[in-house]
């Protein structure tokens, strides 16, 4: 087995609340960026659990956790520890594939140091793993006339085009079998040592009534839990009837509506400015959290909960989430204020109700006002 060592990795001691989508009327971050922040934080949290499992020798759990972290947000350190976990489990072929993904990746010039360290480590460790991978060649004899010949290795079908060719395989004992309709080859275990190459010849013999070999079914996607609600497509939003002016309003009523519109515009402006400021503060706190974590994760063994910088990272993340929430509230208040101000202004003008109207709207990555004037 290849010896594995813990290195700095791009994971965090942070658990964030449900994703918040930032939308506003003016000068707000894009939805894509907000989603990236949440995904990155969630991936770090899962990777932290994976690192804990790895350090405790729970390598199967580590494979699952680092695999999930990588599926949420790509980071070479996720693949590095995934490869190391496979090595510990004796799954050298899978380990090599994970290492090679890191080695072949072209990193950006401004890539984090943890990414570059992971690539350097992968280049070294894959050279240690490759000589230990065994090689198995399976050849067939007999079975003349059979059209559905299948070869199975540990219950997994070997593609027919690869029969007779050397295949990389993990060291250890494997179950090899072959068969077809009316034919069978005696199943036999094959044991290979590290780096060992072996040829196996399976002889198909007549077996009246024998059915074709079938690979074990792949795991199907889990069915919805009984009683679980099935997500329904979002219904199209029916625009509400536009606010209209009252044709019988008196002069003083129109003046009052106009004053109300000015107040609403003021509230809207305060909300938008506040939302922008809180959003910028959230981004600054998030940047500080990333910097604190980068310093922590650069230590041997990664960022542990006992490290004061881990607590600092958690606190900065909480501050960033609070500022983000306040920013969203500010944008919401601002949007409502501006919409109310425009509506009151239109009503105060006494225009034709069929020609004037306004309503706010919120869509994917956008928000604003629409209406008839």
Q: What is the pLDDT of residue 372?
A: 53
User: Among 75-84, 109-118, 136-145, whose mean pLDDT is lowest?
Assistant: 136-145
Domain ranges of the chain: 31-132, 134-206, 251-372
Instruction: Give the model confidence (pLDDT) of 158-210 as tens digits.
Output: 998 898 999 999 999 999 998 888 888 888 899 999 999 999 999 988 888 88
- Among 10, 8, 5, residue whose Cα is nearest residue 40: 10
> CATH topology for 134-206?
Immunoglobulin-like (2.60.40)
The pLDDT > 70 percentage for the chain reads 68
pLDDT at 358 over 60: no
What average pLDDT is seen over the chain? 74
Q: What is the pLDDT of residue 370?
A: 57
3-state helix, strand, coil in the chain (%, to 5): 45, 15, 35
Residues whose CB is less than 8 angstroms from the CB of residue 76 and which lie 6 or more positions away in sequence, other chains included: 10, 102, 105, 107, 114, 115, 118, 119, 122
Q: How far is CA 318 from the centre of its chain?
A: 21
Domains 31-132 and 134-206 share a fold: no
**CA–CA dist 209, 193 (Å, integer):** 37
**CA–CA dist 268, 274 (Å, integer):** 10
Inter-CA distances, 251 with 258, 345, 347, Å: 11, 14, 12
The reply to whether CATH 1.25.40.10 applies to domain 31-132 is: yes
Instruction: Tell me the mean pLDDT in the region 254-263.
Output: 72
Q: Is 239 helix (H, G, I), strand (E, B) or coil?
A: coil
Is residue 192 within 8 A of residue 174, CB to CB? The reply is: yes
pLDDT at 222 over 60: no
- Helix (H) or strand (E) segment spanning residue 69: helix 59-72
């Amino acid at each position: 087995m290849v010896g594995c060592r813990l290195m700095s990795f791009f994971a965090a001691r942070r658990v964030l609340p449900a994703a918040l989508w930032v939308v506003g009327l003016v000068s707000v971050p894009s939805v894509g960026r907000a989603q990236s922040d949440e995904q990155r934080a969630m991936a770090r949290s899962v990777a932290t659990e994976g690192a804990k499992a790895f350090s405790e020798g729970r390598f199967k759990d580590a494979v699952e956790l680092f695999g999930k972290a990588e599926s949420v947000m790509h980071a070479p350190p996720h693949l590095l520890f995934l490869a190391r976990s496979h090595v510990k489990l004796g799954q050298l072929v899978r380990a090599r594939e994970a290492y090679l993904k890191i080695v072949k990746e072209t990193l950006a010039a401004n890539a984090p140091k943890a990414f570059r360290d992971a690539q350097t480590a992968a280049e070294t460790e894959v050279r240690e793993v490759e000589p230990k991978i065994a090689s198995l060649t399976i050849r067939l004899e007999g079975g003349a006339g059979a059209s559905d010949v299948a070869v199975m290795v540990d219950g997994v079908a070997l593609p027919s085009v690869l029969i007779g060719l050397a295949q990389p395989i993990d060291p250890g004992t494997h179950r090899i079998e072959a068969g077809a309709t009316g034919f069978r080859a005696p199943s036999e275990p094959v044991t290979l040592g590290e780096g060992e190459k072996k040829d196996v010849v399976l002889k198909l013999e007549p077996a009246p009534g024998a059915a074709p070999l079938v690979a074990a079914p792949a795991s199907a996607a889990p069915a919805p839990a009984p009683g679980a609600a099935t997500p329904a497509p979002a219904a199209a939003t029916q625009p509400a009837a536009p606010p209209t002016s009252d044709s019988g309003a008196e002069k003083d009523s129109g003046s009052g509506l106009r004053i109300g519109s000015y107040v609403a515009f003021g509230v809207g402006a305060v909300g938008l400015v506040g939302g922008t400021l809180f959003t910028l503060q959230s981004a600054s706190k998030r940047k500080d959290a990333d910097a604190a974590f980068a310093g922590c994760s650069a230590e041997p063994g990664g960022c542990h909960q006992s490290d004061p910088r881990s607590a600092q990272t958690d606190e900065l993340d909480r501050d960033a989430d609070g500022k983000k929430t306040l920013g969203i509230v500010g944008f919401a208040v601002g949007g409502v204020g501006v919409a109310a101000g425009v509506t009151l202004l239109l009503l105060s003008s006494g225009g034709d109700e069929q020609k004037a109207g306004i309503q706010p709207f919120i869509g994917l990555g956008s928000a604003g006002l629409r209406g008839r004037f």
